Chains A and B, each alone.
Chain A
């Protein structure tokens, strides 16, 4: 085979593989949309389940997932951003820093069911929060942290070094420099990481299994110490635990969950693109 032929073949193979990546995404999304779209109506989104969840809507699960996602943001955002600032701006290359980085890498690698069990032991039982939104949000928050810390640190490092030097040459302190010249430019990147982390958290089942998710509660949660239904767990329940569950409700639920995570992902991409376009350095 001549060099030109090898070259052509390589391009064909690489392109084919790239297209292959695309195929399952499109298949899954379009299949869920086609199967679930007929179920979606105002009642499905805003009514409580009825008749053993085989009729009515899935409002409590939607609300539960939204509340949990917000809770996750409140738990993980401040800690993650501060940790990222520390790592990017202050950390010296020493044992402490290496330990922290090691911990973050390991946090990212822990299976989600282990987070669930950890949440059960630490927050539900030891801390005495019970099976509650608080315990669930804390568990999801910790699970989200490594992703948010890494993307936030990356975003902070991407701010050109000379802005820091110039700022300090103008008599700004290190913190003023971070506050006024680094964080504003890193914020979109931080936000992107945050939203991606949240979209993952919104779709997770294992971490909420023992910490917050309820099989069925007839009311909406009224405090952070209440249990709540949540979409991923609800989907699991109606797909495997309830006999005679109509398929259309299962697909409808799957579609709603998919739309929430998809919206978050698209939002993250949107933030990134719009900021890149506006930035003039």
Chain B
């Protein structure tokens, strides 16, 4: 089976000389939840931002290696980076609705892609909110400000906003960082349902969360990929000593 995303020998160095990623290689299969975990500043966010080329917004960095999406080089000349970002959509750690109504947040991506048909847009709004388990809570106030939502609702709105673009891959950068345990549980459950239709790459809030949601996981440490394995083996029988130390809480 062709991997959804393939990362080969990726090195990434910021303009200030910080070597964020060193020789990273792994594949992400379609419809799996792949969890990238590791201590702070180990390169997880950097790697996520590379996958849909949000890294383009960071100037002066040095990238080497190759990343393919459905077999095609994402840095290839023929690639439309805006389409790429619609196909591989990012949900940020801090839920950031755009100023405006709930509805406007959801239709923004599709509209910028040129979608105008009000009926199609309307269908996208409802469908994406349903998938993000937010529809019942907001269906009566779609035209009120998105800023008035609670933290957990904002994060599910941001997830719905990504889903409204009908992506293939969803990148989640610590999506439950600011949420209470209840909201976290709702988001995690939503993710389990989403894997049937999407490929999910996620940076978790904790090792516990990683173990709860992952199909497969990769352990990043200091810009190096220490170990990649099925979730069960990773969290119960890690092969590498450093992985085991981190999982069992000896550092990190």
Contacts and interface: CB of A to CB of B under 8 A. Distances in A.
B6 interface: no
Contacts of B147: 280-281
Contacts of B165: 170-171
A168 B54 contact: yes
Nearest to A170: B109
Contacts of A185: 99
A163 interface: yes
B89 to A, nearest CB: 7
A172 B82 contact: yes
B82 A166 contact: no
A28 B83 CA distance: 61
Interface string B88-116: 01101010101100000000110011000
B80 to A, nearest CB: 9
Nearest to B104: A180
A245 B227 CA distance: 93
Contacts of A166: 92, 96, 98
Interface in A34-79: none
A172 B99 contact: no
B83 to A, nearest CB: 7
Nearest to A169: B90
A168 B83 contact: no
Contacts of B54: 165, 168-169
Contacts of A281: 99, 147
B89 A163 contact: no
Contacts of A169: 52, 54, 85, 89-90, 92
Interface in B115-161: 145, 147-148, 161
A175 to B, nearest CB: 10
B145 A171 contact: no
Given A171-B85, A173-B82, 17 more contacts: A162-B92, A162-B94, A163-B98, A166-B96, A167-B112, A168-B54, A168-B57, A169-B89, A169-B90, A169-B92, A170-B86, A170-B108, A170-B112, A170-B165, A171-B165, A176-B112, A280-B145
Most B-side CB within 10 Å, residue of A163, A166, A279, A281? A166
Contacts of A162: 92, 94, 96
19 contacts: A165-B92, A166-B96, A167-B108, A167-B112, A168-B57, A169-B85, A170-B85, A170-B161, A171-B109, A171-B112, A171-B113, A171-B165, A176-B112, A180-B108, A279-B99, A280-B145, A280-B148, A281-B99, A281-B147
Interface in A245-281: 279-281
A185 B99 CA distance: 9
A185 B147 CA distance: 15
A181 interface: yes
Nearest to B109: A170
Interface of A: 162-163, 165-173, 176, 180-181, 185, 279-281
Most A-side CB within 10 Å, residue of B86, B89, B98, B148? B98
Interface string B157-174: 000011001000000000
A280 B99 contact: yes
Contacts, number: 59
A167 B57 CA distance: 12
A171 B99 contact: no
Contact of A168 (B85, B96, B99): B85
Contact of A181 (B85, B98, B145): B98
Nearest to A281: B99
Nearest to B146: A280
Given A165-B57, A180-B108, A171 B83 contact: yes
A163 to B, nearest CB: 6
Nearest to A164: B57
Across chains A and B, which 6 residue pairs bring their CB atoms closest together, nearest first?
Answer: A170-B109, A171-B86, A172-B112, A280-B147, A171-B85, A171-B82
Most A-side CB within 10 Å, residue of B54, B57, B99, B113? B99
A277 to B, nearest CB: 14
A187 to B, nearest CB: 13
A166 B165 CA distance: 13
A51 to B, nearest CB: 59
A83 B113 CA distance: 27
A237 B98 CA distance: 54
A162 B112 CA distance: 18
A179 to B, nearest CB: 10
Contacts of B82: 171-173
B147 to A, nearest CB: 4
Nearest to A167: B98
